[in-house]
Amino acid sequence: MLPQQKDLVKATIPALQQHGEAITQAFYKTLFEEHPALLNIFNPANQQNGGQARSLAASILAYAAHIDHLDQLGGMVSRIAHKHASLEVQPEHYPIVGEHLLRAIRSVLGEAATPEILDAWGAAYQQLATIMIGVEQNLYDEGRSQTGGWSGYQPLLVTRKVIESETITSFYLSSPDGKSLPAFLPGQYLAVKAHLADAPFQQIRQYSLSGINDGKTYRISVKRELAPGHIAAAKNGLISNYLHDEVHEGDTILAHVPQGDFTLRQTVRPVVLLSGGVGITPAISMLRHLAVQQPSRPVLFVYATLQGSHHAFREEVRVLTSASGHLQSITFYEKPSAKDRLGVDYDHSGRVSAQALQPHLPPQPADFYYCGPIGFMDAVEEILDSFDVPLDCRYSEAFAPDPSFATEIARA
């Protein structure tokens, strides 16, 4: 990019802050109208609730703000690249996206989008596309070349199906021919692809790997998003309901090699794992890994859920923590039922709070990993702010389109 083009991109930051979501909404509208086949890649529920538009707007704003220091976008680029790789986004998709993004900028900003500004944004987009294509190609190469690896989506055999709670069911997966499965890091996810008979497009969803990396079996644990027959089930819980109701032991599902950058960092600091609802899935994988690979490293496992009937992996966590003096767990039930026993089934009623969490934290600086729905993530961020936890000790993943990459950018 030319220096004057970078200056023009930076000069549009106020307009992006004001009109970013309108631009991205216009972008997605025309993109899908003219290229409906891309709905085989994008989750339509995230389009309907506006989450994807907000996430893209935040990404564009972050890119514009750091156009002079792209090395500071490492966290954002990595997260998006892993998601793109799990969706099999290809280089030929980028020119289509670029064309519709520039059209959306022109449509929303009107006369303010001068030819010079559009040229600058065209150059900026091409620069970002080149970076993303290179990172994603590396991920594709790694996925294909590793032991047991493959390209695209491959059928995996469902060897076990286990109900973990009222809402979460685990699926144990193996290679149909008995071969080894690619290694994964605790916190990564498996993309699953399905094409339902009455649905116009195939659908891809990412589910965290909740088991251990043994080279033989994957475990994904899926929350049923909405009860069968619910009026919105076709929009929000299409694949989770399909997995719960129609996929059984002996069936196969199409899966991608593991992806994701929400993984344990190589430090010696104590670890605090905080999860809400189905956010426990990557956390339990991290806990199992730490218990085996770093048994002397202090770990605090904090889980928040509605009540006992929604409490997944209760016995698994109990066994892990009781076997080691370095592992502790705390459970919060937001609305305990009459059958739930304080001090036995759970430790605190209500939501996670700084006051309840403070006495259990390790005395020395720790790394904090947190995962769950957006409301839970916002609450944890406020708690960590109150504890003055540095940004470079915070690692997170929201189970929704990421509304902001502020943490990753600030950390860099």
Which residue spans of the chain are classified as CATH 1.10.490.10?
A: 3-145
Helix (H, G, I), strand (E, B) or coil at 181: coil
Q: How far is it, in rounded angstroms, from Cα 252 to Cα 256?
A: 13
Give the pLDDT band of residue 402 (cuts 50, 70, 90).
low
Region for residue 172 given its phi and psi (left: phi exceeds 0; alpha: psi -120 to 50; beta: otherwise): beta
Percent of the chain topping pLDDT 70: 92
DSSP 91: T
* % pLDDT > 90, the chain: 67
pLDDT bracket for residue 249 (50, 70, 90): very high
Tell me which of 342 and 403 has the higher pLDDT. 342
pLDDT at 152: 94
pLDDT digits (tens, 9 = 90+) for 287-331: 999 999 999 999 999 999 999 999 999 999 999 999 988 999 999
Query: What pLDDT does 232 receive?
Result: 43
| pTM of this structure | 0.89
- Candidates 76, 45, 71; CA nearest to 60 is 76
Q: Which is the CATH superfamily of the domain at 154-255? A: Translation factors (2.40.30.10)
Distance, C-alpha 177 to centroid of its chain: 30
Per DSSP, the residues of 307-337 read SGGG-TTHHHHHHHHHT-TTEEEEEEESS--
Q: Write out the two tokens for 68.
A: 């002079």
Is residue 305 within 8 A of residue 277, CB to CB? The reply is yes
Nearest to 253 by CA among 263, 244, 243: 243
pLDDT at 370: 96
The whole-number pLDDT of residue 331 equals 97
Tell me the pairing of strands 218-223 and 168-174.
Answer: antiparallel
Q: What is the mean pLDDT of residues 117-136?
A: 92
The reported pLDDT for the residue numbered 279 is 95
Q: Poorest-confidence range of 163-172, 225-234, 380-389, 392-401?
A: 225-234
Confidence of residue 27 (pLDDT cuts 50, 70, 90): confident
- Look at 170 and 407; give whichever has higher pLDDT: 170
- Residue range(s) of every CATH 3.40.50.80 domain in the chain: 271-411
User: In sequence order, which residues have a C-beta less than 8 Å from that of residue 154 and are 6 or more positions away?
Assistant: 254, 255
Return d(Cα 237, Cα 243) in angstroms, integer.
Answer: 10
pLDDT digits (tens, 9 = 90+) for 86-102: 999 999 999 999 999 99
Predicted confidence (pLDDT) at residue 228 exceeds the cutoff of 90: no
In the chain, CATH 2.40.30.10 sits at 154-255
Q: Give the per-residue pLDDT at 77.
A: 85
CATH class held by domain 271-411? alpha beta
In angstroms, the CA 74 to CA 172 distance is 33
- Which residue has 């929000």 as its token pair? 236
Active-site amino acid positions: 94, 136
- In angstroms, the CA 256 to CA 280 distance is 22
Residue with tokens 């919060």: 332
Compute the average pLDDT of residues 234-253: 87
Decide yes or no: CATH 1.10.490.10 for domain 3-145.
yes
Q: What is the pLDDT of residue 47?
A: 61
Pairing of strands 252-255, 168-174: unpaired
Position 230 pLDDT exceeds 70: no
